[in-house]
């Protein structure tokens, strides 16, 4: 069986734009996630729901509509460094998020992932975040594979409100 290669050319610039800073870890105040959650402007930054030790927000650079992230409030880069209580809540929230996205957006599957470190693909490696990507049959097309363009067919504000409403029902 021949192995196929998945190539995402649109990620190249995003992942490599700060390559010269590979060894530098931003201090807490330089973290975009810490900054956004501290401002308490949830609608502006698409923060969907706050929990005790973690929060859920939409990804500013989504692979698919409804691409969410679950993040701890603690500015930690490594899953192994999280206290067990926070790690447990992170994954409990991930499970709740799957249900919310499935109900609100009728997702047919999901990809979940944590990119730890720059070499692991982390665009913001200093603050751990769990990606939750909803998937549908046929959700990639020629624009992405040939034209290097990602087309999102839904308004982000509408999707944000749909997901917030669904979280209110579940949590």
Selecting among 75, 127, 129, 131, the annotated active-site residue is 129
Cα 150 to Cα 21, 89, 108, 147, distances in angstroms: 27, 32, 19, 9
Residues recorded for the chain: 171
Question: What stretches of 18-155 show up as alpha helix (H) in DSSP?
Answer: 32-39, 42-45, 84-105, 142-145
Q: Is 54 helix (H, G, I), strand (E, B) or coil?
A: strand
* Catalytic-residue membership of 12: no
Q: Which residues contact 1 (CB under 8 A, 6 or more apart)?
A: none
The catalytic residue positions are: 129
């Amino acid at each position: 069986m021949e192995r196929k290669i998945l190539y995402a050319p649109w990620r190249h610039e995003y992942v490599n734009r700060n390559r010269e800073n590979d060894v530098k870890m931003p201090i807490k105040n330089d973290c975009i996630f810490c900054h956004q959650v501290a401002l308490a402007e949830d609608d502006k930054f698409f923060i969907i729901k706050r929990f005790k030790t973690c929060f859920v927000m939409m990804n500013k650079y989504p692979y698919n509509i409804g691409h969410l992230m679950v993040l701890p409030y603690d500015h930690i880069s490594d899953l192994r460094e999280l206290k067990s209580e926070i790690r447990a809540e992170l994954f409990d929230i991930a499970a709740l998020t799957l249900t919310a996205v499935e109900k609100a957006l009728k997702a047919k599957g999901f990809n979940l992932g944590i990119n730890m470190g720059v070499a692991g693909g982390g665009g913001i490696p200093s603050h751990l975040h769990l990606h939750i990507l909803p998937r549908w049959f046929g959700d990639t097309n020629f624009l992405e594979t040939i034209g290097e363009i990602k087309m999102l067919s839904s308004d982000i504000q509408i999707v944000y409100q749909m997901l917030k409403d669904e979280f209110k029902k579940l949590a």
